[in-house]
């Protein structure tokens, strides 16, 4: 007898015995979100690697807001991760075929046990994941938001810059 069959049988017996209220409370407690283990402080640096399974999401989410506040675009190279900082750039390698793709983390997820990454349709296509749906991957963090190298590549923006433009426009 499978575990599911035993659980359904136990549920039916408990409901018949009048223990439904306590059982429902117990089931509700078990149905909560799963705990997610974040990388240890200091471990999250460029070069951090994680291995697991990745899936992809596409048309149904297209245009909806992501956790970063931007609209999800299934044609961009983006991904969802539970704990990596939004804006992090990672290289994802399909462990079955060796293909790689660089994506930007812009959303949270996946919320399916055993998966570490949800890829946009474009990223899934680049990795050869459209047909299988779920693939084994290794991700490597290339750049974190606020990374010193990224900051050096962009000129610093001062708070007075917008104000100086406004003053110039009034002259």
Q: Which residue ranges make up each domain of the chain?
A: 1-30, 49-151
Specify the CATH architecture of the domain 49-151: Beta Barrel (2.40)
pTM above threshold 0.85: no
Q: Do β-strands 89-94 and 115-119 pair in parallel, antiparallel, or remain unpaired?
A: unpaired
Q: What angle do CA 140, 146, 150 make, to 5 degrees?
A: 75
Which structure tokens are listed for 69? Answer: 């506040």
Per-residue pLDDT in tens (0 to 9) along the chain, 171 residues: 444 444 545 545 554 555 555 444 444 444 444 445 555 545 678 999 999 999 999 888 999 999 999 999 999 999 999 999 999 999 999 999 999 999 999 999 999 999 999 999 999 999 999 999 999 999 999 999 986 455 445 444 445 455 444 545 455
Determine the 3-state secondary structure of 131 from DSSP: coil
CA-nearest of 140, 9, 122 to 84 is 140
């Amino acid at each position: 007898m499978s575990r599911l069959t035993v659980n359904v049988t136990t549920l039916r017996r408990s409901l018949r015995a009048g223990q439904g209220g306590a059982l429902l409370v117990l089931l509700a407690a078990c149905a909560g979100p799963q705990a997610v283990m974040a990388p240890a402080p200091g471990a999250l640096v460029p070069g951090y690697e994680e291995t697991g399974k990745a899936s992809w999401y596409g048309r149904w989410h297209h245009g909806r807001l992501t956790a970063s506040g931007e609209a999800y675009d299934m044609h961009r190279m983006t991904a969802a991760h539970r704990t990596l900082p939004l804006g992090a750039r990672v290289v994802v390698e399909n462990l079955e075929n060796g293909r790689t793709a660089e994506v930007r983390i812009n959303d949270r997820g996946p919320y399916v046990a055993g998966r570490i990454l949800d890829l946009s349709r474009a990223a899934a296509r680049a990795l050869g994941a459209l047909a299988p749906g779920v693939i084994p991957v290794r991700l490597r963090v290339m750049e974190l938001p606020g990374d010193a190298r990224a900051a050096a590549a962009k000129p610093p923006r001062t708070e007075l810059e917008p104000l100086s433009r406004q003053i110039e426009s009034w002259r």
